[in-house]
Each structure stands twice: as C-alpha cells, then as structure tokens.
C-alpha cells in the first residue's frame, strides 16, 4: 500500500478527535445528550497513558523518551482527579481544569511559535486543541450551571 492511500495517519486521527470533541460540545450544549461517561473514559485513558509514560521516563534507560514533548498531552494526574471528582467537584472544576487548560495552551503556544519543536508538530497541535476545546467547554458548562 502506498503512503498516499493510507488514510489512517496521525493527522487524520487528530482531526477526527477534534471534530468529535466539537460535536460532543455542541450536542451537550444544546442539551441533547450528557457525555460524562465519554469524558470519564477519555480522562482515564489519558491519565493511564500519562502514568505509563512517567514510569517509563523514571525507570527507563530509553533516553529519547525523556525529551519527547509529543507526550505532554498525557497528564497522569487525571487518574487521581477522576476518583476525587464526586467529593471535590467544585475545587476540581475551578482549579484543576483551568490549570490543565493553561498548560495545554502554553504547549500549543510554544509549538506554534517554534520555541518548542514537536517531532510531528501539527497532529499533536490538533490533538491538544481538541482536548483544550473539550476542557474549556466543561469548565464553561460547569460555571454556567453553578448556583450564584
């Protein structure tokens, strides 16, 4: 198979993720569906991958992993936040999610300005943009429903 014929590549997968994130946000904003379970699964996978990457970075002698900034979207603290979400929802939504959004925006800004060079830059930027859109939507939705 030629490389041009293969539609499953990092760019198309990142584009599908961002389109899915936008569609989920629109459906949830219009009140058509509630997607807590999708967010739970997504954050679990991201947190688990982040935990694996951190452990490999600590215990591995594979030095390219130590400087690979493509993996910065995998935040291992998502796992802990998922288990604390029911008890500390307000704290998580008002402190943790804005910090995550800020860190993603910093990574995006640094990569667009070429201060930090990602190895496969544009698909990673698209993926980070999709995650940032979803997290921003969750924060806006939470704050709009919060009692005043």
Number of domains the chain contains: 1
**Domain that includes residue 98, residue range:** 22-145
Q: Tell whether 15 is covered by a domain.
A: no
Measured between alpha carbons, how far is 57 from 18 in angstroms, rounded to an integer?
28
Among 22-31, 32-41, 93-102, 118-127, the range of highest mean pLDDT: 93-102
Q: Tell whether 44 is covered by a domain.
A: yes
Contact 88, 94 (CB under 8 A): no
pLDDT at position 12 is 78
How do residues 85-142 score in pLDDT, each as one tens digit?
777 778 778 888 888 888 888 888 877 777 666 555 677 777 778 788 888 888 887 7
pTM over 0.75: no
Cβ neighbours of residue 127 closer than 8 Å, sequence gap 6 or more:
14, 17, 18, 73
Q: Tell whether 61 is covered by a domain.
A: yes
Better-scored residue on pLDDT, 42 or 70: 42
Tokens of 81: 């936040």
3-class DSSP string for the chain: CCCCCCCCCHHHHHHHHHHHHHHHHHHHHCCCCCCHHHHHHHHHHHHHHHHHHHHHHHHCCCHHHHCCHHHCCCCCHHHHHHHHCCCCHHHHHHHHHHHHHHHHHHHHHHHHCCCCCCCCHHHHHHHHHHHHHHHHHHHHHHHHHCCC
Q: Is the confidence at residue 69, as pLDDT, over 80?
A: no
Q: Tell whether 71 is covered by a domain.
A: yes
Q: Tell whether 43 is covered by a domain.
A: yes
Q: Is the confidence at residue 33, as pLDDT, over 80?
A: no
Q: Is the confidence at residue 32, as pLDDT, over 70?
A: no
Contact 29, 137 (CB under 8 A): yes
Q: Length of the chain in residues, anyone?
A: 148
Mean pLDDT in the chain?
Answer: 77
């Amino acid at each position: 198979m030629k490389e041009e014929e293969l539609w499953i590549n990092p760019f198309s997968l990142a584009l599908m993720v961002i389109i899915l994130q936008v569609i989920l946000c629109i459906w949830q904003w219009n009140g058509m569906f509630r997607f807590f379970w999708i967010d739970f699964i997504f954050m679990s996978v991201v947190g688990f991958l982040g935990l694996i990457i951190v452990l490999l970075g600590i215990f591995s002698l594979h030095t390219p992993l130590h400087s690979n900034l493509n993996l910065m979207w995998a935040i291992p603290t998502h796992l802990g936040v998922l288990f604390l979400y029911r008890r500390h929802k307000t704290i998580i939504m008002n402190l943790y999610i804005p910090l995550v959004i800020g860190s993603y925006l910093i990574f995006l800004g640094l990569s667009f300005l070429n201060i930090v060079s990602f190895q496969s830059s544009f698909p990673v930027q698209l993926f980070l943009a999709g995650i940032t859109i979803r997290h921003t939507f969750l924060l806006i939705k939470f704050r709009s429903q919060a009692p005043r």
